Amino acid sequence: MGQEQKKVCKERSHTAQGDTWDLTMLYPDFDAFDRHLTQVANAGTAPRWPAVQNKGESLADPLVVKNLFDAMFSLESSLDKLYTYAHLRHDEDVADDRAKKAFASALSLMHAFREEIAWIDPALLQLPKETLDALLDADELQKYRVFLRKIFRLKPYTLDAPLEKILALAGRALDTGQKAFGSLNNADLRFASCRDSKGEVYELTHGSYHVYMRGKDRTLRKESFLHLHQAFAEHQNTLCELLQGQVQRHVFIQKARGFSSCLEAALYPYEVDVAVYKMLLAATRNKLSLLHDYIAYRKQWLKVEELHVYDLAVSVVEDVTMNFSYEEAVEGIIASVAPLGQEYQDILRKGLTEERWVDRYENKRKRSGAYSSGCYGSPPYILMNYQGTLQDIMTLTHEAGHSMHSYFSRKHQTYQDSQYPIFLAEVASTFHEELLFQYLLRKVETNQEKAYLINQKIDAVRNTFFRQVLFAEFEWKIHEWVEEDKPLTPASLQELYMQLNKEYFGDALTLDPELAHEWSRIPHFYYNFYVYQYATGISAAHVLAKKVLSGDSYARDSYQEFLSSGGSLDPLSTLRRAGVDMAESQVIDLLLADFQDLVSQLTSLVKK
């Protein structure tokens, strides 16, 4: 008590402008945003947007459909711009009142827009097959051919217009669980301060937690782990109901549309077969012994009687730390992507420095974590909470990979085809991580530094692959429970989560009771079967990076085409063109074989 705390966050107003993203590329200020919002909202008229209303014209006429789509996508791009600015400003300080109102207004408009266009897909799908085929071949609609194909594919699961409107109207209410979790997690939740082995006091935040967990001081790691999860445990009943509400949302959509399961309802619209999901889980289960072996080695290397979860992130290599200023991180990232060519490097350098794509550092009430965002015509903005660790430079290059994927997709595709499928979202990001790891590995000078990097890479695979597959299995199971009318309770969620951790990590890891509450702090469980794509993404990226790093110019060009493809093809076909078949378990097996090889290398280096 009374001792000066470490790692105290600044207020947003104390952050240097050069360390923040430049949102003036969207709007100069909130006043300009408000003017555009008022213009787009078309207040006082009913309907809001007559150009996308059902005027009784025949959608069998290609020109009618073209005019409708032109108006719809023009409006949607304006709404995307409004939403992007509002959510970025909101994430700067989630308690800022003006940003909260702007975000709520933009989100409300998005929902209203979905309600007003809900009639279009059912109206199209009521047309005879020969008419739909004629629309696909019509000259007037060639720029919308991909978009139309995706609509027609959903015909078995599209309801008639009145029911689609009801589903659209329900959207706002069904967002409550995710929004409430976000507010609790990012703004309202408070963590007790932590002490290290010397009794010094440290402020605990989402951002600092990951730094402490990688630190050498075991007392600080343990206190950070306990205090963070105890804070979530205090709200276990609320958090259980929020998650249950989100799963109920998915069940509602699944049943309303007639899908056989929530898993199918989540994957089918993105043209991913449930067999890919199941293959991932089965292939991982078959190789869990590799993770068990590593956990046992880690316990041995750290020389601890019991290995706890708070011992999983600290390096097993003593007397080596790697810290990077933001500027050093940028230089390393730019150098690492040299195999992709000078143009790629130049674009990325300008974005990370001159054009201020990145909001760099943590401030009070800033959204936790990291992401890449933006809209068509805007820079691909990056939110960071940069602390200077090796993990932070890896996170920065991860998000830069997302941003470059978005940059090239938006540059080479039309608005309606520019959004790459969610299944592909984690490929470019983990590809960037692999390039940076290989670059840093070439730069180190001692066996200790090499061992340190390999250790970090092994743990990156543990986190991005094994842990995400565990999450995917947890998510699938709780959806099955709700589909079977089994209620979710804090006790059942805790029991399932602990059982999965025991199976995945093996007997060498001691599971603290607080780990049972970890499920309640994972925001991705509100994203509807998203986490498995981290595992498929890192697997695909691993194969692609090996090909590009081999100096194969065809592989490099194919990867550039992958980045530029947007949503112009289904995701599995897009990856096959780049040289990876994610329907086959060999892609998973290759990653895990290299994981095993890295563990062997580290074992040899530790002995030395």
Peptide bond into 513 cis (omega under 30): no
Asked if residues 543 and 587 have their Cβ atoms less than 8 Å apart, the reply is yes
- Tell me how far apart the alpha carbons of residues 263 and 482 are, in angstroms, rounded to a whole number: 12
Q: Which two tokens stand for residue 278?
A: 């199941």
CA count, 13 A, side-chain hemisphere, 60: 7
* Long-range contacts of the stretch 82-85 (C-beta < 8 A, 24+): 82/33, 82/36, 82/37, 82/40, 82/106, 82/109, 83/107, 83/109, 83/110, 83/375, 84/26, 84/373, 84/374, 84/375, 84/378, 84/381, 85/23, 85/26, 85/27, 85/33
In the block, tokens 């992007």 appear at 84
Q: Which two tokens stand for residue 121?
A: 């897909």
**Which residues make Cβ contacts (< 8 Å) with residue 169, sequence separation at least 6?**
115
- Tell me how far apart the alpha carbons of residues 333 and 73 are, in angstroms, rounded to a whole number: 36
In the set 399, 473, 475, 518, the catalytic residue is: 399
Neighbours of 211 (CB within 10 A): 20
Asked if residues 185 and 232 have their Cβ atoms less than 8 Å apart, the reply is no
Torsions phi, psi for 359 (to 5 deg): -95, 105
- Tell me how far apart the alpha carbons of residues 428 and 544 are, in angstroms, rounded to a whole number: 10
Asked if residues 488 and 478 have their Cβ atoms less than 8 Å apart, the reply is yes
Torsions phi, psi for 509 (to 5 deg): -100, 125
Q: Is 484 a catalytic residue?
A: no
DSSP assignment of 172-209 equals HHHTHHHHHHHHIIIII-----EE-TT--EE---HHHH
Angle at 188 between CA 187 and CA 194, to 5 degrees: 95
CA distances from 367 to 1, 50, 88, 102, 186 (A): 28, 37, 10, 16, 6
- Tell me how far apart the alpha carbons of residues 93 and 88 are, in angstroms, rounded to a whole number: 9
Q: Which two tokens stand for residue 28?
A: 């100069």
Q: Which two tokens stand for residue 214?
A: 């990688």
Helices and strands (H and E) in the chain: how many: 25, 7
User: Bridge partners of 389?
Assistant: 323
For the chain, what's the residue count? 608
Q: How is the beta sheet containing 382-383 ordered, strand by strand? A: 358-359, 382-383, 371-372
Asked if residues 7 and 204 have their Cβ atoms less than 8 Å apart, the reply is no
Asked if residues 316 and 298 have their Cβ atoms less than 8 Å apart, the reply is yes
User: How would you label 462-498 residue by residue, b for 16+ Cβ within 10 Å and e otherwise?
Assistant: bebbbbbbbbbbbbbebbebbbeeeebebeebbebbb
Q: List residues with catalytic annotation.
A: 399
